[in-house]
Amino acid sequence: MSELDKARREIATELQQPGLRPDPSVKLTRRTFIHRSCVLGAATVADTFSWWPLINTIDVAHAADAPFKFAWISDTHLYTRSLNTRFVDKTVRAAKEVQAMSPPADFLIFGGDLAQLGKVEELDLGVELLKEIKIRKVFIPGEHDWYLDMGKKWGELFGQPYWSFDHKGVRFIGLDTVSRAPDYWSMKKMSPEERMAHMSVLDGTVAGPWAGVGRDQLDWLQKTLSTWDKAKPVIIFSHNPLYEYYPPWNFWVRDWRDVNEVLKPYTKVTNIHGHVHQVLYNEIGTMRSIGMLATSWPWPYAPEGVPKLTKPMIRVDPGDPFDGVGWGGLAVNAKDTVENEYYMWGRKEVFVQSDADSSLSQPEILRPRIADNQWPY
């Protein structure tokens, strides 16, 4: 049995015990939704198809005191402006659309990977582009933001990488799942640029299992949650998913078992995460988990480990930079529901309609790369 198979068995034994599911009032439904710009006839023909999002409705008992919306943008992966204008264009588009939400969102959560190589110019560019959005903005870091200067610039711009606040009956928590990588650079005397280069390659083999929450932050999480009613909703933002999907790409946090221990008593936990650049849904123990789109580019689904509860997103056209990417609008409403709306540009249908629409219909067996892991590093 491979290491991955062993881990899969363990996750099933530990977390998917018989009868254990998110609160029974929680259910996932889907409905199509015509954006108001189409209804009002304001959209051009090209826009019409880019404005047919699909809503995931998740019903949560005892949710908000009052209805509200919030927006998610992540994984803009900005290079310097002159190198890649497409990523800039897409960030600008997402920012404009979030700002145009009506009624406006209460806040924007930026889910990490604002920059591609962690450069000061890249992070500054991100701040400049997001100035379009006037509502409150909160940030969590991604690994691309962090490993050039170990979070220095990011911290100067955005402050604490993990935090919590209460908003209309929901406790929101932002986690830092990126800053606790095992030290792979000191022994090899890597320059900051080399350290960042290894970290910036999703399928790199040198940075290893860098995604994790860490004991100190877990203790903080436990303390933060201890003052919260166990039956009231908690929404946790993280860059990486808080369960194990595909470790070779850090589509996980390595201490998911400990995270689960802390969250176990809370019955209405929703984790919203970036990093995977794809439509993803899973339920682990009493937590449900939603993966969000990037604005930059879509990742393919991993060759194994895609949660069974995920309805895959449609296979995208690599010739269209606006396909397969976008942002997310989330609403917590008076009927005690949380709605997640994927705004995927360039698509009428977000989800696969038949097997042929899915990249998963063509099984693949893949090997990890080799050329990045040989002396001299």
The site for another protein (CB under 8 A) is made up of 79, 83-84, 86, 116-117, 190, 193-194, 197-198, 200-203, 248-249, 297-303, 317-319, 321, 356, 359, 362-372, 374, 376-377
Closest approach, Cβ 208 to another protein, in A, equals 15
What are the two backbone dihedrals, phi and then psi, of residue 210, each rounded to the nearest 5 degrees?
-80, -20
* CB of 54 vs another protein, minimal distance in Å: 22
Shortest Cβ 240–another protein spacing (Å): 15
What is the spatial distance between Cα 34 and Cα 40, in angstroms, rounded to a whole number?
Answer: 10
- Using the minimum distance from each CB to another protein, give the nearer residue, 168 or 369: 369
Smallest separation (angstroms) from another protein to the CB of 210: 15
CB 140 within 8 A of CB 109: yes
What is the SS3 assignment for 227? Answer: coil
For residues 61 and 120, which CB has a smaller minimum distance to another protein in the complex?
A: 120
Nearer to another protein, 104 or 346 (CB): 346
Q: Is 43 or 190 the residue whose CB approaches another protein more closely?
A: 190
DSSP character for 316? P
State yes or no: cis peptide before 53, omega within 30 of 0: no
Tokens 């989330």, located at residue:
330
Residue with smaller CB distance to another protein, 56 or 116 = 116
Q: How far is the CB of 350 from another protein (least distance, A)?
A: 18
Closest CB 202 distance from another protein, rounded Å = 5
Phi-psi sector, 122: left (phi>0), alpha (psi -120 to 50), beta: alpha
Please say which residue, 115 or 170, places its beta carbon nearer to another protein.
115
Q: Which long-range contacts (CB under 8 A, 24 or more apart) does 42-50 make?
A: 49/346, 49/347, 49/348, 50/322, 50/345, 50/346, 50/347
Question: Nearest CA to 66 among 106, 102, 16, 99?
Answer: 106
Q: What's the rounded Cα separation, in Å, for the pair 238 and 140?
A: 7
Among the listed residues 16, 14, 24, 19, the one whose alpha carbon sits nearest the alpha carbon of residue 231: 24
CA 294 to chain centre: 8
Q: Select 41 or 376, whichever has its Cβ closest to another protein.
A: 376
Euclidean distance between CA atoms 248 and 288, whole angstroms:
22
Report the Cα–Cα distance between both ends of the chain, in Å, rounded: 31
Decide whether 164 or 358 has the Cβ nearer to another protein: 358
Query: Beta partners for 108?
Result: 71, 137
Shortest Å distance, C-beta 372 to another protein: 6
Shortest Cβ 302–another protein spacing (Å): 7
CB of 111 or CB of 204, closer to another protein = 204
Task: Tell me how far, at minimum, the Cβ of 103 lies from another protein, in Å.
Answer: 36
